[in-house]
A and B are shown apart, each in its own frame.
Chain A
């Protein structure tokens, strides 16, 4: 009887596993992705880094820094959903499309939308979490307020106050005092984002993308979600400040530069960001 039960359990387990492996779907707008089609694509494009089992242990993983994503953990950095929840199909699709700047993950935009949707469906098959839980609800992003110097100054204050500089560095170069100690959820060393490197963030290029990063966090990394501590207006101010750190012409950088030029005395009152510098409220009060 025990043997019979065990056999039945095994059959059920195998059957359910097979069903999940091959019936997994994704939905990207009107496109329906199929895991069966994604399997071949995964083998062609992804297996070298992410491995045949999707656990991030492909033959190239040893040489890749940062390490490839472990799909079996179903932990994804770039989401529109709250921290700790599964991403939407669109989130994974966007990540495949966009790639990850400063990593070995390229943008797979040359693949067709259907191909990428098929890959999303297949990738979801690596973790049982997709069977038991639904993706989180995408966070709401309020309309972006106009860029003003007051907001930038407030964002600068938040950058100091919330100790973003400890990882990202006082000037956003990713060289804060804690940077060298950071590890991801698999204990692999991880570097904080260097805002001076370029125009793209890990999860997009727009202000909205940056806002979303604050509010959802990057799961699996030391970057937390600030949705509980930041009000939307504060988050937008932080976005506007961080844009001034980038080596490019942005509206925020223009406003910031203009203020520094027209209000040099007040600009000089700004204390450098970093340890023991306290608030910049004085500068703000001077407005």
Chain B
């Protein structure tokens, strides 16, 4: 009978992965979302479709392609390994790359719809005040989409924590390196260690609920602060 003591390493690994992914994605998704919200180009639907692909693709498909692309046998994988000494498959760095691809739409979409919901004349007023597009995005647009911004950050974080298929394919289950909480639980169930699986799952459930509750509480308070009626 295996012990059901709570080893926190998989959780810490999950949160570390989610934190790093969220931070990187915020920086990458912000300009993409802004561009998509402002552009009138005809190829916008194509770009939107590519951005949204990870939502529709089975994680195993994405994981398979990534495994294929990042392995030492592929040009990308061998280039990175020989020139930078970076090994992406079955490593934490590889997990970060995979998570960024997998969670990309979950950061872009809330930001984009937040930007698209802004009064275009508010942005024009900023241009007429002599402010550049970058300044307008940072000082006018971004502060006015706080709920969308928070949604994007939290959903990306939560989605990365909840990731399983891609992580398993690209990272495997190396303790302390790629063995995140969802993979750990899967292994416990496989080994019929239901006691640990229960404990770990309960922790995940509680943590996820708390995070989402905080988001919705904040959104409600933020609306009140802006003077919108809460109905």
Chains A and B belong together in one complex? no
Q: Which residues of B are at the interface with A, using a C-beta cutoff of 8 A?
A: none
Q: Which residues of A are at the interface with B, using a C-beta cutoff of 8 A?
A: none
